[in-house]
Chain A
Amino acid sequence: MTEGPLSDRLEPQVASLTGTTSRRRRFLDGLFRFATIASVGVALLTLGALLVDIFLQGRPRLNPDLLSNMPSSRPERAGIQSAIFGTLWCVGLTAVVSLPIGVATAIYLEQFARRDRWYVRLVELNIQNLAGVPSVVFGILGLAFIARGPLSWGFTVGTGAMVLTILVLPTVVIASREAIRAVPSSFVDGALALGATRWQAVWRQVLPAAIPGIATGSILSVSRAMGESAPLLLLGALTFVTFNPTGLDSGYTVLPLLIFKYASDAKQELHVVAAAAIIVLLVLLLTLNTTAIMLRNHFEKRRH
């Protein structure tokens, strides 16, 4: 092969490296990049502005007294202690109940259930639909069947946690199913081909590989319960509660409700307390989500 024909053949391609099509493509590429960065920027700026605003507003009351005082309508004594404990009780109970049930359901649906059975399809359909139901509907349900009606558990922290459990269960199931589905089926096939039972394959191959995803997804779903106020509003989470929950049958309040109460009060000083309480709620949420990420990293590192 001589040099002439080769460079002849290359020339059109070299030309296209600098040609008009390429220039137009680069322009579009740049435009798209600018658009995405701009939208992320707007979102982050808005969030940042809100955070700074809240922080400046709430700073005067961000002190140990806020955490140790009980809620009160008297601004100088107003704190959030019982709401913090109420929130921790609710979210803790919700996690303890919804994680095992949700993960077990996900394992069943992904690994054991037969898609061609009508009851399996019914369960799947319901989970999809329940995940989209507005939370206040769960509140009404809880009011009718748990607080009053058949269970008559009253306006207790147990009732609140039970309703929150029902509320987050569908998302826990969906998140866990995603994580389980992401485990290559070749692990299960390999295990079964060695004479393992289905359960051994799930326990020794699927779960270890799926745990990072299950942990992250589930904790993120459960942390949603922390910000919920609508259903608890119906379930008698009182606002100015001056005691911490001592058991499932205790009365309670939670941070989102107390914040709403303080922020809608006529007294300006209580708005400052509301802002400070928002910061506390954000810190709690952030702690939970950080735990989720750290758990994931921990398990992922252990696998390799």
Chain B
Amino acid sequence: MTSTSSPIHLDLEATRHAAEVGSTVEPVLVAKDVSVYYGDFRAVRDVTMSINRGEITALIGPSGCGKSTLLRCFNRMNDLIESARVEGTITYHGIDIYGPGTHPGEVRRRIGMVFQKPNPFPKSIYDNVAFGPRVNGLRNRSELDEIVESSLRRAALWDEVKDRLKSSALGLSGGQQQRLCIARAIAVDPEVLLMDEPCSALDPIATGRIEDLMNEIKSDYTIVIVTHNMQQAARVSDRTAFFTTEISDSSDRRTGVLVEYDLTEVIFSNPSDERTESYVTGRFG
């Protein structure tokens, strides 16, 4: 296959795959020309991509290419980094999440996040899951009980912890803690879940459970996952975005760019960019 013929071929194939994944592709989050700066350093350059409802989108690429940086833009967690500045627009159902009237707390309630390192609060299992509903104003005890139970069930943790809801979350294993963090995130009923290498601190069995869990909940939640694990991206995601770093013209540090964004099968079996191909086949980074 020559490089000139491949784009056409890919387009056809992409359409076919799109038809298989879901007939209606509805974008939930749309990033347009997004660049992120840390001070003067441009960490990510001109990313344009859309995250589709009900899909699992994987962000892959070598270390430092800005996957976490971009992910944090989607729910304004970059606001917490003083030097960070976002250019371009990100819309959620057409609303600019960096717009003047938008409250970051509201954005984060709808677009939840699971961190790389499990970060349960030093409170009981119950209080961890109830934290989100509580800060959003829910006081009713029986409603809280219900939310805690259903969230823990969804996160496939209920059976393991139902007898010790009042004991400290810090006593759970790493895998259980991460599932607790997922339960905590879905307790506020978000539409999108952002996950930054959620399995990197877990063993293969715990990882498998989280992947099963993602597959189970993906009909209700749109998921964006950053992962360094190619098999994981291939296993769980519908679409994959490959990023890499490029020497930029303005500084000597490497800036992250989006190389290719397509259906996962295409990225892994028939990518249109050489850099994607060498990365997914393990010949790079």
Contact = CB atoms under 8 A, between A and B. Distances in A.
B74 to A, nearest CB: 11
A25 interface: no
Contact of B108 (A188, A192, A304): A192
Interface string B122-137: 1000000001100110
B119 A195 contact: no
B119 A303 contact: no
A82 B236 CA distance: 76
A59 interface: no
B170 A194 contact: no
A186 B105 contact: no
A195 B122 contact: no
A195 B189 CA distance: 11
Given A197-B105, A200-B135, A192 B121 contact: no
Contact of A189 (B77, B106, B122): B77
Interface residues of A, number: 23
B45 interface: no
Given A116-B82, A189-B80, A196 B105 contact: yes
Interface of chain A, helix or strand or loop or mixed? helix
A186 B117 contact: yes
A193 interface: yes
Contact of B135 (A187, A189, A195, A209): A195
B109 interface: yes
B122 A192 contact: no
B109, B112, B121: residue with the most chain A Cβ atoms closer than 10 Å = B121
B131, B168, B170: residue with the most chain A Cβ atoms closer than 10 Å = B131
Contacts of A191: 121, 131, 135
Nearest to A203: B135
Interface of A: 114-116, 184, 186-197, 200, 204-205, 208-209, 303-304
Interface of B: 75, 77, 80, 82, 104-106, 108-109, 112-113, 115, 117, 119-122, 131-132, 135-136, 168, 170, 181, 184-185, 188
21 contacts: A115-B82, A116-B82, A187-B119, A187-B122, A189-B80, A189-B115, A191-B121, A191-B135, A192-B77, A192-B80, A192-B105, A193-B185, A194-B131, A195-B105, A195-B106, A195-B109, A195-B132, A204-B135, A208-B122, A209-B122, A304-B122
Given A194-B131, A195-B136, 14 more contacts: A114-B82, A187-B121, A191-B131, A192-B108, A193-B112, A193-B113, A193-B185, A194-B132, A194-B185, A195-B135, A196-B131, A196-B135, A197-B105, A304-B168
